[in-house]
Structure 1
Amino acid sequence: MKVADAVPDFAKAFGFEEFNRMQREALPAILDGSDNVVASAPTASGKTALAELAICRTLRDGGTALFIAPMRALTNEKEDEWDRFEELGYSVYVVTGERDLNPRRAERADILVMTPEKTDSATRKHDSPRYSFITGVDCVIVDEVHLLDSDGRGGVLEATVSRLRRLCDPRIVALSATMPNIDDVAGWLDAPPDSTFEFGDDYRPVDLHSDVRTYSHGDNAFADKYRRLYAALDIAEPHIREDGQALVFVSSRQDAMRAAAKARDEIAERDIPMGARGDYDFHNDATELSNDNLRKGVPDGVAFHHAGLAKDDRNRVEQWFKEGKIQLLFSTSTLAWGVNLPARCVVIRDTKYHDPLEGEVDISPLDILQMLGRAGRPGYDDVGYGWVVCDHADADKYRRLLREGKDIESRLAEDLDSHLNAEIAMGTIKDLDDVMGWLETTFYYQRAQSKPAEYGLDGLRERVRSTLQTLVDRGFVETDDELGVEATGLGTLTSKYYLRLGTAARFAALADRERLTVDSVLEAVASADEFDSVSARQAETDAIDQVLRGTDTNLEDGHRKVFAILTAAMDGKTPSELRSDAWVIRQNALRLLAALHEFADRFAGPRAANLICRIEARVEHGVSREAVALTAIDGVGATRAETLAQGELTTPGKIIEAGVDELTRAGITAGVAERIVEAAGNLPQITVDWGEFPDSIARGENEMCEVTIRTTAGSATAGIRVTVNGVEMNQKRCYLADSTAVPVGVFGAAEDLEFIVEVTFPDLPLPPVRASRSVVVD
């Protein structure tokens, strides 16, 4: 069946001219039917075309399609691939992080591309103008739906798809690698038998032979990596000698680079005929690579690939591998889920990896099968070879996996309380009947029907009731006499910021304190449940102790390490021993700080929120306390802020006073200086007018006065607090765009009076502005 005959208006959206057998069989249900569809097929059999057919059907009907990709790296890849839809006049928009979201583009997009986590976040906020676009989708394509069984992420995907079905009831097209219990997924999604497709290994373009190779442990983990590398090369060598290619999966970006370098030396020792040094054009093209290590290895036929490479470098490596100019490629798991780069031989060198938030963990069985599925080059090989290199203790486990595959299980129960709280916070669950109705929409419930003993089907409803009662007892949910349920302020914020319940409770307790300090804020974030699995390695101990010298904390192990990383990050001085995990930990901490900021604003007030806002800016930018206010100015980054602060230009107001000439003398070009001064003028500049405030008052008398707070430039939400002799007498919160008046009573007491007006900005990293006035009591 030719593409042009099946979808004449969309033929240019496909990268080929004719559908294969698998695609032809699924096409009528996707293109002409309206039921939900579930299709499982071997890796490299052409499932992406099924997603594109579902998109074509949606666009043909004037609807919006949402493609849920399994990981962030693949969302960008789809944006590039689907330029073909853009050329046909349709818009494709990848929804990324909170700060980068363009709601208008998302609203107008014909094709949205998101990760499960981003879709979860968007659906939780669907009733806000910023995320209302999510309820307008007509078709949801779930790529790699077998991720339901992924530890940590599976529950997110399950809850999100179930939620989308309740919010806007889109058509669901779920695609998967081969899975034994496809009927459970079809049952969950209400896909009828004639829209459920289980394409077996006979649909694989190349047969797959898979097996396990064991190795013996050496003295340490470092030595073990090289033992596994040599085993991988032993497996790959005969295929390379016969003009085949090998793809070796390793656990990290650094490992990919190091393994490639070591393999080049070993290949030279073994005298394996590889490389294309005689190809003058290829050799010239290789010099354009931006990565030095890649540039050295590619002419010898060895390369590495990971999501951290420059896009042009990645594209070149992929193209050269397809052309056979690279015969040995080391990669992280990103390639297994994304680009279709088959090889005659696939070796999984590492079955474990180090996660900064989880410690040493096994690569999931799903990832193992996905990687092995890359073995075999259609059109070149009759059979592909896939090998798992593991120690003797794990051999039987992996042999069983290769022989039997793996049923897809629900992971919803791992965070049942968090998911239930999210539904209540969104208002989709309003009473006990809704709770049970929600449960029945989940894959968890569907799987319990198939395996009642393992899932405890008889006690499932009681378990959910118990979970709901726990949410009530902990203050996340409240009930009424008619069995209605509603989220409290705590429950709403917990859902909004994607927090674990223990973390949210800890944040609420901190916000309830009378006084916050920098250390107490960082300690609360570092002790979050989200960091429970962080481990502190022995080699990091001295660096952690050095950073926290003089700091009083009861945190231990991984949480203490997080505390040290955040403390060091505030000044941009993270020790080299802690840098490998610092970026991931800092990004997670910034999300938690944003949540804590709103907790403080709601439960403690503007002063606490302002302190956390300044801490958040310091952790993000790595600047000193003196320079942090300057990060509020557009165009001022960490380096520039520190340079200006060293010249005692520490606030936007001082920048305005200094003017362009002073900034140019500080080494900033005139054009940039003009923009900085202009941007500083958009931030509030506060003056306090005491009006007819008296200088003295007789004992026993009183007088009501009015103090006016003005902003001479810019506007912002402000908290205004008036104290007398350290005791608060008045406070208000307002949006300060011009001026506001605050009544202040002057009472003749037993001692002289010291009035202080303090203005804080809860949403800006600006220091509080204070003005004082003394009154003598006669």
Structure 2
Amino acid sequence: MPGRTEYEPQVAVREVLPGYADAFPFDSFNRMQSEALPAIVEREENVVVSAPTASGKTALAEAAICRAIDDDGTALFLAPLRALTNEKESEWERFEELGYSVYVVTGERDLNPRRAERADILVMTPEKADSATRKHDSPRYGFITDVDTCIIDEVHLLDSDKRGSVLEVTISRLRRLCDPRVVALSATMPNIDDVADWLDATPDTTFAFGEDYRPVPLEAGVKTYTHGENAFADKYRRLYRAMDLVEPHLREEGQGLVFVSSRQDTVQAAKKARDEIAERDVPMGARGDYDFHQEAQEVNNETLRQSVLDGVGFHHAGLSKGDKELVEKWFREGTLGLLFSTSTLAWGVNLPARCVVIRDTKLHDPLEGEVDMSPLDVLQMLGRAGRPGYDDRGYAWVVCDRADADKYRQLLRDGKEIESRLAEDLDAHLNAEIVLGTVRDLDDVLDWIETTFYAVRARSAPDEYESEGQLRERVSDTLESLVDRGFVDMDDDLRLSPTRLGRLASKFYLRLDTAREFATLAERASDDDSATSLSSDDVLKAVATAGEFDSASARRDERDAVRAVLGQFGQDLDPGPRKVLAILQSSMNSTTPAELRSDAWVIRQNSLRLLAALRSFLDHLAGAPAANLASRVEARIEHGVSADAVELTALDGVGSGRASRLAKEGLSSVADVREAGVEGVVAAGLSDGVAKQVVGSARSLPDLEFDWGEFPERIARGANEMCEVTVTNVGDGARAGVRITVNDHEMTATDSYVGTATLPVGVFGGDAEELTYTAEVFFPELPLLPVSDSRTVRVE
């Protein structure tokens, strides 16, 4: 690139890593990489590197991986987003071709402990690593303590509102568990020394590469627009402003990358931009290019297929993998001149453009309503401006309302110091450490806090945080609160142990106020004698009012839809939780109103996690009947099926569509499917192969028989007789709660893994003229309807 000889390649890959030249997509490292490499490859200490976006930090991560493999170790790469873990799996096939194993551990697939244990390179999100370190002493997750090198990609994620504290405690915990070497990579940040202090990186292994190391010089600024009363019209005002900024570069055959707030906005903005480009007569598009026209037919998304022919694309996480890869390829080649994207692209794919515009600085969060875009996201996006080797300069603009202009100008001028977010969830994280057993007494608590970035920032900026004494006082107060609220027990010697409540809260990553409310509901259910004391409405309300949803909001246009779903139910709730309640209620029958669908997926996914937690609370604290009710509610929300067909979702291969089809044909229970057999299920509309799978699954689920033995039909008043009932499962075993009631009052109960269970039954001739004895079986972990059998005894 003219005038930028200092950015030409510096050190050949074969010189530094002779055995791994084929693992890199280039022959030589650039100047930034060349200066940092000796610390990564030749030294043992932890390393922290801060460098401008797109300057080549990924190559440093790969060099650290090579060093770990050379030392016969395992490298863990922490990617900031789940979508990026799968990209790394594809990208690092280069290591697989050299004979090294790459394994991505995500929540989307079943963990294969053997593959994880044998992997040379593990790829995880901070959340998955948090889960693995919490379960490190289990056989499935024991591999996590074998990590020798941990590479943190985008360590400035520490400052993320929702995810920063997870990364912070996970790294602190991992270092206590197995003390791996840490290589932390970051975009430019003013307080890199704080991160280095936290990770014990030496001055010789801490690198702060400034803007002069940016491959292409950056011109960044803020442009304002006139804010109107209509939010929809404002989007177009900002779009026209963005087009004004991008247009000159498009005319010079440069490229524009415009970030918007949502997936749907990428599509709508691309459509409108195509019209604008035609109106402004900007020379773009490839409609006359026969080869590209043929290639574009490979695109699955019809709107995208038409758009790319005009030189305009869009990119978001909802597109198929193939469509995303084609868009990325065409943009890199220059076939697409203008691309609209969500922020995911800024954190992952290295896809720079001459001009980057952030059209939307605010976004709609389903759980919080309208929120400002994170300063980290803003800086990450702007850093994508300038294509190395093609552009002499990059241009980056923030489009915002005049009221916000000074805020963004200051951000561009001063950058963003990385702060700790641990204080916001200190009680939950401390509880987790006590559950893990890494914190056993008060001294351990104070030692633990010293391992966190929070403690480093408190020392570095005491005016903004706390003095050392205040920090210790805060931690002691937090511990006292955990004890007072029943999450932790502390004996006279100040030794700490988790309670059942504390264990459940940690297992399900709950806010502690939510855990306390779930426990209260479970305790109330356990105190009631009636099997129907807890209703599905109680379960739905407990989830909708959970602290995890306390920032949920309902727009005005959504409130009529909420009323239509709920009527008077939940009228005492605030609009946000009531909206959550409406989405849950309507999801049970797949009748979610159109006005609520944009937020429904996120709310459902969060709710399913909370329902699984509530089910476990009810199982441990109230018993199988309450847990089974929650299990059925959970299945209905997940699959959108009616109450009479919900147990069909326990069958392998049966989701909402097949459950509804079977129920419509009169097969609404597992017993119905067993009785119908393959022929009957085929007659109900399923293919022969699916029918065999479904019937096989039905035959493997519990199938109960009741034996009342010598049970009397009548008994004399004042007499008594001891009998027993035996419940036998002739299907596969499952954990169940079995109880005996007489005239709806519980006599005896047991929880067991049902193969065969025998319970005593006392028949007493009392005041009642008739006694109805019922044996009931509830499955706390399966959405099966309760199974019961009764006997009636006359009192004479």
Q: Distance in 2 between matches of 1:771 and 1:550?
A: 37
Q: Distance in 2 between matches of 1:573 and 1:99?
A: 29
The answer as to 2:589 corresponding to 1:571 is: yes
| Pick aligned residue for 1:27 from 37, 52, 55 | 37
| Pick aligned residue for 1:432 from 427, 434, 442 | 442
Cα deviations across residues 602-651 of structure 1 (Å, max 9, x unaligned)? Answer: 00011111110111000000000011101001011111111111222122
In structure 2, the partner of 1:717 is 735
SS class of match (1:681) = helix
In structure 2, the partner of 1:746 is 763
The answer as to 2:465 corresponding to 1:471 is: no
In structure 1, the partner of 2:691 is 673
Shift of residue 702, structure 1, vs aligned partner: 2.3
Of 326-335 and 104-113, more deviation after overlay is shown by 104-113
Distance 1:99 1:508, change over 3 A: farther
In structure 2, the partner of 1:204 is 214
Shift of residue 98, structure 1, vs aligned partner: 6.9
Is the Cα contact below 8 Å between 1:250 and 1:332 reproduced in 2?
Answer: yes
Shift of residue 550, structure 1, vs aligned partner: 4.9
Q: Distance in 2 between matches of 1:136 and 1:490?
A: 30
Q: Distance in 1 between matches of 2:586 and 2:115?
A: 38
In structure 2, the partner of 1:125 is 135
Matches within 5 A, 1:610-689: 610-689=628-707
Q: Distance in 1 between matches of 2:477 and 2:376?
A: 32
Matches within 5 A, 1:406-417: 406-417=416-427
Is the Cα contact below 8 Å between 2:260 and 2:266 reproduced in 1?
Answer: yes
The answer as to 2:690 corresponding to 1:690 is: no
| Pick aligned residue for 2:559 from 541, 555, 569 | 541
Q: Distance in 2 between matches of 1:715 and 1:309?
A: 42
Matches within 5 A, 1:244-259: 244-259=254-269
Q: Distance in 1 between matches of 2:693 and 2:28?
A: 55
Shift of residue 9, structure 1, vs aligned partner: 2.0
Amino acid at match of 2:178: C
Amino acid at match of 1:745: G
| Pick aligned residue for 1:420 from 426, 430, 455 | 430
The answer as to 2:199 corresponding to 1:179 is: no
Shift of residue 749, structure 1, vs aligned partner: 2.2
Is the Cα contact below 8 Å between 1:215 and 1:228 reproduced in 2?
Answer: yes
Q: Distance in 1 between matches of 2:242 and 2:688?
A: 58
The answer as to 2:346 corresponding to 1:329 is: no
In structure 2, the partner of 1:484 is 495
Distance 1:472 1:694, change over 3 A: same
The answer as to 2:83 corresponding to 1:73 is: yes
Shift of residue 700, structure 1, vs aligned partner: 2.8
Matches within 5 A, 1:543-562: 543-562=561-580
Q: Distance in 1 between matches of 2:664 and 2:258?
A: 50
In structure 1, the partner of 2:451 is 441
SS class of match (1:627) = helix
SS class of match (1:452) = coil
| Pick aligned residue for 1:499 from 510, 513, 519 | 510
In structure 2, the partner of 1:769 is 787
Q: Distance in 1 between matches of 2:200 and 2:76?
A: 19
Q: Distance in 2 between matches of 1:502 and 1:121?
A: 21
Is the Cα contact below 8 Å between 2:736 and 2:777 reproduced in 1?
Answer: yes
Matches within 5 A, 1:83-94: 83-94=93-104
The answer as to 2:416 corresponding to 1:402 is: no
Q: Distance in 2 between matches of 1:279 and 1:114?
A: 42
Cα deviations across residues 488-517 of structure 1 (Å, max 9, x unaligned)? Answer: 111111111010111111100111123210
Of 346-355 and 100-109, more deviation after overlay is shown by 100-109
Shift of residue 553, structure 1, vs aligned partner: 4.4
Unmatched tracts of structure 1, length 5 or more:
none
Question: How many matched pairs?
Answer: 777
Shift of residue 101, structure 1, vs aligned partner: 2.8
Is the Cα contact below 8 Å between 1:344 and 1:376 reproduced in 2?
Answer: yes
Q: Distance in 2 between matches of 1:746 and 1:111?
A: 65
Amino acid at match of 2:320: A
| Pick aligned residue for 2:394 from 348, 359, 384 | 384
Unmatched tracts of structure 2, length 5 or more:
1-10
Of 241-250 and 577-586, more deviation after overlay is shown by 241-250
| Pick aligned residue for 2:403 from 393, 398, 420 | 393
Is the Cα contact below 8 Å between 1:38 and 1:173 reproduced in 2?
Answer: yes
Is the Cα contact below 8 Å between 1:372 and 1:387 reproduced in 2?
Answer: yes
Q: Distance in 2 between matches of 1:168 and 1:435?
A: 19
Q: Distance in 1 between matches of 2:331 and 2:263?
A: 18
Q: Distance in 2 between matches of 1:369 and 1:724?
A: 68
In structure 2, the partner of 1:141 is 151
The answer as to 2:477 corresponding to 1:460 is: no
| Pick aligned residue for 1:517 from 507, 532, 535 | 535
Is the Cα contact below 8 Å between 1:73 and 1:307 reproduced in 2?
Answer: yes
Shift of residue 159, structure 1, vs aligned partner: 1.1
Distance 1:302 1:99, change over 3 A: closer
Cα deviations across residues 301-352 of structure 1 (Å, max 9, x unaligned)? Answer: 1111111111111101111011111001111111111111111111111111
Q: Distance in 2 between matches of 1:273 and 1:770?
A: 74
Matches within 5 A, 1:183-194: 183-194=193-204
The answer as to 2:620 corresponding to 1:602 is: yes
Is the Cα contact below 8 Å between 2:570 and 2:578 reproduced in 1?
Answer: no
Is the Cα contact below 8 Å between 1:687 and 1:710 reproduced in 2?
Answer: yes
SS class of match (1:732) = strand
Is the Cα contact below 8 Å between 1:121 and 1:498 reproduced in 2?
Answer: no
Shift of residue 601, structure 1, vs aligned partner: 0.5
Is the Cα contact below 8 Å between 1:139 and 1:172 reproduced in 2?
Answer: yes
Q: Distance in 2 between matches of 1:448 and 1:775?
A: 73
The answer as to 2:611 corresponding to 1:593 is: yes
Q: Distance in 1 between matches of 2:108 and 2:792?
A: 46
Amino acid at match of 1:747: F
Amino acid at match of 1:604: A
Is the Cα contact below 8 Å between 1:228 and 1:349 reproduced in 2?
Answer: yes
Shift of residue 258, structure 1, vs aligned partner: 0.6
Amino acid at match of 1:520: D
Q: Distance in 2 between matches of 1:503 and 1:132?
A: 30
In structure 1, the partner of 2:15 is 5
Q: Distance in 2 between matches of 1:387 and 1:492?
A: 48
Shift of residue 221, structure 1, vs aligned partner: 0.9
Amino acid at match of 1:459: Q
Shift of residue 776, structure 1, vs aligned partner: 2.2
In structure 1, the partner of 2:323 is 313
Shift of residue 89, structure 1, vs aligned partner: 1.9
Q: Distance in 2 between matches of 1:98 and 1:238?
A: 43
Shift of residue 128, structure 1, vs aligned partner: 2.5
Of 108-117 and 587-596, more deviation after overlay is shown by 108-117
Shift of residue 99, structure 1, vs aligned partner: 6.3
Matches within 5 A, 1:292-303: 292-303=302-313
The answer as to 2:227 corresponding to 1:217 is: yes
Shift of residue 365, structure 1, vs aligned partner: 1.1
Shift of residue 52, structure 1, vs aligned partner: 0.7
Q: Distance in 2 between matches of 1:376 and 1:506?
A: 51
In the superposition, the TM-score normalised over structure 2's length comes to 0.96
Identical residues among aligned pairs (%): 67
Q: Distance in 1 between matches of 2:611 and 2:793?
A: 40
Is the Cα contact below 8 Å between 2:736 and 2:779 reproduced in 1?
Answer: yes
Shift of residue 277, structure 1, vs aligned partner: 2.0
Amino acid at match of 1:483: L
Q: Distance in 2 between matches of 1:299 and 1:657?
A: 56
